[in-house]
Amino acid sequence: MKFAIIGGTGVTDSTFIGNQENISVDTPFGTVELLKGDRGNNQVYFLERHTKGHKLTPSQVNYKGNMYALKKIGIDFAVATTAVGGVQNCKNGDFVILDQFIDFTKNRDCTYFGEKGSGVVHMDMSEPYCSTLRKALKKSMINCGVGFVDKGTYVCTEGPRFETPAEIKMVKIIGGDVVGMTNVPEVVLARELGLHYATISLVTNNAAGLSEGSLSHQEVLENMAAMAGSLRKVLLDLIDNGEFEIICNCKNSLAELNII
């Protein structure tokens, strides 16, 4: 199988990949750089969402190019990671396997529809994240003895600033569990391309107004580092031992989109 790991803030460890080589994938949305390697009989591709050195803000990330590249090279399963602030139904240090999102971004290109005359299509988003991959991730979490929250709603804000306490109060009222800046439009584009895509959110801090002090990017990095070992175990178990009985309808989303 071909796996893709999408590394978010603080997720840069690719040492579990053997025979590494840097590759470039040309797309209509620019060139995407990936690390290609293998583990056992599986191919593994590592993609740093913000590019090497974390150079891009959440709004500057080339989401369309990244997802297009994964589709072009024939990825079977893509696991994204995101650092998030906890709002409710989770605590610092938790891994949350997302099942829903709410979009509060403002300035992002969120769809492939319209490219190459594909026209207007209203994509069903009842199940934004792949249920096949989510099930496999849950089993790997259990196998590794890693505590996790088996579902959660991600609220995506524009960034790069952190949210205000008033905004977090609103997020809680509307049912958001975690808040971050990068999962949209990534999840939408993956869905449009029919990718088996799921996200593990790592709760690195309490959101604004729920924490004891002010928020900092350094705090996020430090807490991500503390969770890195458990994340690595889960990803290795998924790649080495994952069972992927298809129970999702991800591939059905390709019916009306033909840009690849």
Residue 33: helix, strand or coil by DSSP?
A: strand
Angle at 77 between CA 123 and CA 232, to 5 degrees: 130
Mean pLDDT of 83-101: 96
Cα within 13 Å of Cα(56), Cβ side: 14
Task: Please report, for the chain, the start and end positions of each structural domain, with discontinuous segments joined by +.
Answer: 2-256
CATH level 3 topology of 2-256: Rossmann fold (3.40.50)
* Strands 42-48 vs 2-7: parallel, antiparallel or unpaired: parallel
Mean pLDDT of 141-157: 97
> Residue 7: is its pLDDT beyond 60?
yes
> Residue 120: is its pLDDT beyond 70?
yes
Residue closest to 85 by CA, chosen among 228, 227, 215, 218 = 215
> Residue 84: is its pLDDT beyond 80?
yes
State how far the Cα of 141 lies from the Cα of 122, in Å rounded to an integer.
Answer: 34
Q: Which two tokens stand for residue 218?
A: 């350094």
What's the confidence (pLDDT) of residue 116? 66
φ/ψ of residue 52, rounded to 5: -60, 135
CA dihedral 198, 137, 97, 72 (to 10 degrees): -10
What's the confidence (pLDDT) of residue 210? 87
Beta carbons within 8 Å of 22's beta carbon, 6+ residues apart: 33, 34, 35, 36
Q: Note the pLDDT tens digit of each residue in 11-40.
A: 767 777 889 999 999 999 999 999 999 999
Side chain identity at 180, as an amino acid letter? Answer: G
Average pLDDT, the chain: 91
State how far the Cα of 226 lies from the Cα of 77, in Å rounded to an integer.
Answer: 26
Residue closest to 7 by CA, chosen among 240, 188, 199 = 199
* Strands 100-104 vs 77-86: parallel, antiparallel or unpaired: unpaired
For the chain, what is the largest distance between any 2 Cα atoms, rounded to a whole number of angstroms?
51
Cα within 13 Å of Cα(212), Cβ side: 2
Burial class (CB in 10 A: 0-12, 13-18, 19+), 240: middle
